[in-house]
């Protein structure tokens, strides 16, 4: 009797935990479904190649926002990835257990917990108030900063798991430490560094808060990286709240593009890092 | 063969390389310090102008020059705690299913789903919450509750859809994957020897989880909750789009269906239009308060996770 | 005191891991173009001994070395930079460790490429020459672009020997290079070691006394951090002076 009820409890928990898991996944499928259902009808050639129509007119597209997101992300990566990789290399290969490296480690970890909107405020006070106008550079600075801890952590962790055999082999050949670190250890760990950088790129591609008062928004093609610039993220925010059905539809269309970008990167990374697949040591 | 360069040459290269790495690392430290100092100096007009009343004031009226942050601070804390409270049972359920009951073949897709849920941009949660979930919640949840037990102040009407509780719900969906994936990692670290002891006594999987894995993982789960809380506190876009941005909650209207304003939604929706120095300063002081709260939460997270790791190593 | 018939002159070498002394007053002389086998039970200090010769022992914080090692009369601890020492004293490890991020050809010239930027053609020649020297050329000539990690264990070890040879070292240290390999691969490496001494000086650690007898000219027997006996291999095996040596080579402990 007792045994049966214990087994039933176990079976109940199994089904309950399965049900909870399904409930947690529903929002994901629902969001992706909604974004496809609503967004697909917004997408056409004009949507992908034109700038937004002025208020009151229909039609237009989000091409300038697509370009803006790519430009701002690229500039952010050019800033954030090198700093992240260099910091990660330092933490993995050079840092001792001393105070100095624990300060660096604490800063990197603290950065990863800072709310994204605060990076926006930081970039605003540091750059926008200095140059006296909104600029895409400030947005890239904020997003680049957000990439640093992600890339640094990925670099440090993937370099740490490189076997010491590799370091010893390099030392025994008389290879200088810098070349050993860059060409051998980083070389063996490059898969982890690349996936970390891709995930950081995906992460900032969806970030909106740091852009609100840095790159702002624009209805036109970008005129320069030191000017306000449209992005898909801010376009979604502005248009979704605008209340005009045309605009809301375009916000769904832009959401679809953003979701495809973010999901694609995550799926690629996920499959590339499947446990079965192991690169090197 | 070219002449071999002297070893002094390589020692110099090494020194240069090391100084580049140190400079990059110091830049990170410097930027973090700069961020803190910038927020403090940016807050000065508010700290001097509003004084301590900023933290206790309940009115925000830039026209009259009144800046009270208490409702925003309370809203941020309330939405985040509520979201985490909703997320914990879900995340635990996922973790238990994943570690104990899920077939090996399903695990890869399951982690993919969890990762994707964590990767969906917050602005997308916002547009979905605003245009899809808010109307449904308003009609099928809020209105029936208001109609039946609306006399209780915290369930009072009117039903707007966009509200404190909707923000918590969406936030919960956003932090579930964060808490779940760390909990899975922690529970998976339960030493097999401990579990085998229970299983050899004839315990079921659930009994093993209840008496071995969960007690073993409790500190780690606490860490996961702190991590999720930190994320919820700083979340901006989804909140701004669905919380209603009204200073009603909690003083004018204590209902969880009332629109409210969090620290982040206040900053996101007003920073651009803030003109006077004290207005901008007040918003920056809000962000400083948020930074302090999230840094403390994250420090707690790191403290607990360090303890967990040490405990695991001792096993 | 140096002369032409001494490649490596080791005088009163002591080494420590933290507080624990691993080598006690080791003195021995190694002639050029010979193979010296270092034997002894595990923990006797043989690995520490050869890691002192290319200055790798000192890399672990807390480790110390005292005494003198002269390479062609130059004190490797006082007169030479550690990087120069390692370029003159190559090393082959117990576990084959080719760089998995580099092709087979690049592995061979890894040391040259990362130290002296020679031109591409020169490097290709060097790769070919050294792969030939270890008898790997015919096996990999069409796969030069493949990863070094794609080879079998025995091939990987020969690749590692080629990588060390490419630096044109004065001495090659080998730390049980065949212990992870099958008998056929082991035989190839043993042949290779014997051939190497026409060009260079080899010091090889082995836990297999038969291997020491097969390939070496001189044998050093270590026990508990001390050099018990050092002599021509034939004398060591035919008439060991120390009873400890005799017990070890006849397999009665170790």
User: If we measure between CA atoms, which residue out of B108, B310, B95, B113 comes closest to residue B213?
Assistant: B95
Residue B132: in which H helix or E strand, if any?
none
Contact C90, C33 (CB under 8 A): no
Are the C-beta atoms of residues B67 and B57 closer than 8 Å to each other? yes
pLDDT at position A150: 97
What value does the mean pLDDT take over residues B152-167?
Answer: 92
Whether this prediction's pTM lies above 0.90 is answered by yes
The DSSP string of B182-235 is HHHHHHHTS-HHHHHHHHHTT--HHHHIIIIIHHHHHHHHHHHHHHHHHHHHH-
Inside any domain, residue B293? yes
Question: With contact defined as beta carbons under 8 Å apart, do C47 and C174 qualify?
Answer: no
The number of domains in chain B is 1
Position C23 in a domain: no
CA-nearest of A28, A73, A55, A47 to A239 is: A55
Token pair 């996922």 is found at B94
Using the predicted structure, report yes or no on whether residue B3 has a pLDDT greater than 50: no
| Closest of C54, C92, C97 to residue C177, by C-alpha | C92
- Specify the CATH number for the domain of residue B264: 1.10.3720.10
pLDDT at A3 over 70: no
Judge whether B178 lies within some domain. Answer: yes
CA atoms within 13 A on the CB side of A12: 7
CA A180 – CA C56 distance, rounded (Å): 15
Write out residues 101-140 of C within 8 Å (CB-CB) of B.
Answer: 115-118, 122
Rounded to whole angstroms, how far apart are CA atoms A259 and B224? 26
Exposure string of B193-203, with b = 16+ CB inside 10 Å and e = fewer, is: ebbeebeeeeb
pLDDT category at A2 given cuts 50, 70, 90 is low
In-domain check, residue C67? no
Q: Which stretches of chain C drop beneath a pLDDT of 70?
A: 1-4, 117, 253-254
* pLDDT confidence bin for B1, thresholds 50/70/90: very low
A250 half-sphere exposure, CB direction, 13 A CA radius = 31
> What CATH number has the domain bearing residue C205?
3.40.50.300
pLDDT, residue A276, reads 57
Q: Which of A173, A176, A280 is nearest residue C110 as measured by Cβ atoms?
A: A173
Question: What pLDDT is attached to residue B2?
Answer: 41
Q: pLDDT value at position C77?
A: 95
pLDDT of residue A69: 97
pLDDT, residue C252, reads 75
- Number of folded domains in chain C? 1
In a domain, C234, yes or no: yes
pLDDT at A7: 87
A162 contacts in C (CB within 8 Å)?
Answer: none
| Residues spanned by the domain of B88 | 49-314
Q: What percent of chain A has pLDDT over 90?
A: 89
Of residues B170 and C253, more confidence is placed in: B170
pLDDT value at position C100? Answer: 94
Indicate if the pLDDT at residue B156 is higher than 60: yes
| Domain spans, chain A | 1-40, 45-272
C114 CB neighbours in chain A (<8 A) are 173, 175-176, 179-180, 183
Give the pLDDT score at B185.
94
Q: Which DSSP helix (H) or strand (E) runs through C219?
A: strand C218-223
State how far the alpha carbon of A211 is from the alpha carbons of A123, B70, B237, C88, in Å: 9, 26, 11, 57
The model's pLDDT over A63-81, given as tens digits with 9 standing for 90+, comes to 999 999 999 999 999 999 9
Q: Where do the DSSP E strands lie in B115-234?
A: none
Query: What CA–CA distance (Å, rounded) separates B194 from B221?
Result: 18
Q: How many CB pairs under 8 A join A and B?
A: 253
Domain-embedded: residue B172: yes
A273 phi/psi in degrees, rounded to 5: -105, 20
Residues of A in Cβ contact (< 8 Å) with C167: 173-174
pLDDT of residue B315 exceeding 90, the answer is: no
- Indicate the pairing of strand C89-92 with strand B66-67: unpaired
ipTM: 0.94
Query: Residue B18: which of A94, A110, A117 has the nearest Cβ?
Result: A94
Please say if the pLDDT value at position B195 is more than 80: yes
Token pair, residue A224, equals: 């320069």
Which residues of chain C neighbour A184 with C-beta distances below 8 Å? 99, 101, 110
Residue C208 is part of which domain span?
Answer: 33-55+85-249
In a domain? residue C116: yes
Return the percentage of chain B with pLDDT > 90, whole number: 81
Closest CA relative to residue B183, chosen from B232, B235, B222: B222
- A45-272 is classed in which CATH architecture? Orthogonal Bundle (1.10)
């Amino acid at each position: 009797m007792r045994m049966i009820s214990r087994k039933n409890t176990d079976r109940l928990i199994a089904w309950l935990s399965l049900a909870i898991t399904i409930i947690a996944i529903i929002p994901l499928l629902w969001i992706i479904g909604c974004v496809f259902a609503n967004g697909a009808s917004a997408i056409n050639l004009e949507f992908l190649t034109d700038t937004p129509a002025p208020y009151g007119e229909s039609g237009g597209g989000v091409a300038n926002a697509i370009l803006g997101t790519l430009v701002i992300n690229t500039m952010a990566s050019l800033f954030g990835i090198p700093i992240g990789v260099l910091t990660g290399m330092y933490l993995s290969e050079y840092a001792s257990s001393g105070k100095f490296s624990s300060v660096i480690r604490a800063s990197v970890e603290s950065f990863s917990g800072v709310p994204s909107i605060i990076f926006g405020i930081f970039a605003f006070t540091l750059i926008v108030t200095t140059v006296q106008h909104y600029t895409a550079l400030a947005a890239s600075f904020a997003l680049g900063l957000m990439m640093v801890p992600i890339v640094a952590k990925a670099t440090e962790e993937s370099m740490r798991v490189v076997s010491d055999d590799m370091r010893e082999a390099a030392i025994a050949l008389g290879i200088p430490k810098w070349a050993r670190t860059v060409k051998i250890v980083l070389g063996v760990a490059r898969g982890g560094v690349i996936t970390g950088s891709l995930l950081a790129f995906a992460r900032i591609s969806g970030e909106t808060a740091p852009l609100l008062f840095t790159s702002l928004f624009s209805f036109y093609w970008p005129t320069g990286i030191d000017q306000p610039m449209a992005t898909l993220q801010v376009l979604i925010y502005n248009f979704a709240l605008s209340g005009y059905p045309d605009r809301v539809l375009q916000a769904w269309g832009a959401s679809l593009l953003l979701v495809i970008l973010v999901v694609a990167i995550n799926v690629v990374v996920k499959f590339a890092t499947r446990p079965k697949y192991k690169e090197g040591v | 063969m070219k002449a071999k360069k002297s070893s002094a040459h390589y020692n110099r290269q090494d020194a240069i390389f090391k100084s580049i790495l140190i400079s990059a690392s110091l830049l990170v430290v410097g930027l973090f310090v700069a961020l803190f100092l910038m927020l403090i100096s940016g807050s000065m007009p508010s700290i001097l102008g509003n004084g301590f009343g900023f933290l206790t004031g309940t009115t925000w009226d830039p026209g009259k020059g009144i800046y009270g942050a208490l409702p925003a601070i309370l809203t941020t804390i309330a939405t985040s705690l509520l979201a985490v409270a909703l997320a914990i049972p879900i995340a635990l359920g996922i973790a238990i299913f994943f570690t104990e009951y899920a077939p090996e073949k399903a695990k890869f897709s399951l982690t993919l789903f969890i990762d994707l849920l964590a990767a969906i941009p917050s602005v997308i949660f916002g547009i979905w919450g605003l245009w899809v979930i808010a109307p449904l919640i308003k009609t099928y949840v809020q209105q029936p509750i208001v109609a039946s037990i609306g006399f209780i102040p915290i369930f009072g009407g009117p039903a707007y859809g966009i509200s404190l509780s909707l923000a918590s719900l969406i936030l919960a969906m956003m932090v579930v994957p964060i808490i779940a994936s760390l909990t899975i990692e922690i529970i998976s670290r339960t030493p097999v020897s401990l579990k085998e002891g229970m299983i050899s006594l004839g315990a079921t999987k659930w009994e093993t989880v209840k008496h071995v894995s969960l007690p073993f993982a409790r500190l780690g789960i606490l860490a996961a909750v702190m991590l999720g809380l930190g994320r919820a506190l700083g979340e901006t876009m989804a909140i701004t789009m669905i919380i209603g941005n009204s200073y009603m909650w909690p003083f004018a209207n204590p209902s969880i269906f009332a629109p409210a304003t969090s620290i982040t939604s206040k900053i996101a929706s007003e920073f651009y239009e803030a003109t006077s120095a004290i207005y901008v300063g007040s918003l920056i002081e809000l962000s400083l308060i948020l930074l302090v709260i999230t840094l403390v939460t994250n420090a707690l997270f790191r403290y607990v996770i360090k303890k967990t790791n040490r405990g695991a190593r001792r096993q | 005191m140096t002369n032409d018939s001494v490649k490596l002159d080791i005088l009163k070498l002591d080494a420590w891991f933290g507080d624990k002394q691993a080598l006690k007053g080791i003195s021995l002389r190694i002639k050029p173009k010979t193979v010296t086998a270092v034997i002894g039970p595990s923990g006797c200090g043989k690995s520490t001994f050869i890691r002192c010769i290319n200055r790798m022992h000192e890399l672990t914080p807390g480790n110390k070395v005292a005494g003198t090692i002269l390479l062609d009369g130059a004190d490797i601890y006082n007169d030479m930079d550690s990087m120069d020492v390692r370029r003159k004293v190559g090393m082959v490890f117990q576990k084959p460790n080719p760089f998995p991020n580099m092709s087979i050809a690049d592995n061979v010239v890894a040391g040259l490429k990362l130290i002296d930027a020679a031109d591409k053609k020169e490097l290709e020649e060097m790769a070919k020459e050294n792969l030939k020297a270890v008898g790997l050329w015919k096996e990999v000539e069409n796969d030069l672009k493949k990863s070094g990690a794609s080879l079998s264990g025995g091939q990987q070890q020969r690749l590692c020997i080629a990588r060390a040879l490419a630096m044109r070292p004065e001495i090659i240290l080998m730390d049980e290079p065949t212990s992870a390999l099958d008998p056929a691969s082991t035989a190839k490496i043993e042949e290779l070691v014997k051939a190497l001494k026409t060009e260079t000086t080899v010091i090889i650690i082995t836990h297999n006394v038969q291997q020491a007898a097969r390939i070496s000219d001189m044998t050093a027997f270590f026990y508990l951090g001390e050099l018990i006996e050092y002599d021509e291999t034939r004398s060591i095996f035919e008439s060991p002076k120390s009873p400890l040596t005799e017990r070890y080579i006849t397999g009665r402990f170790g």
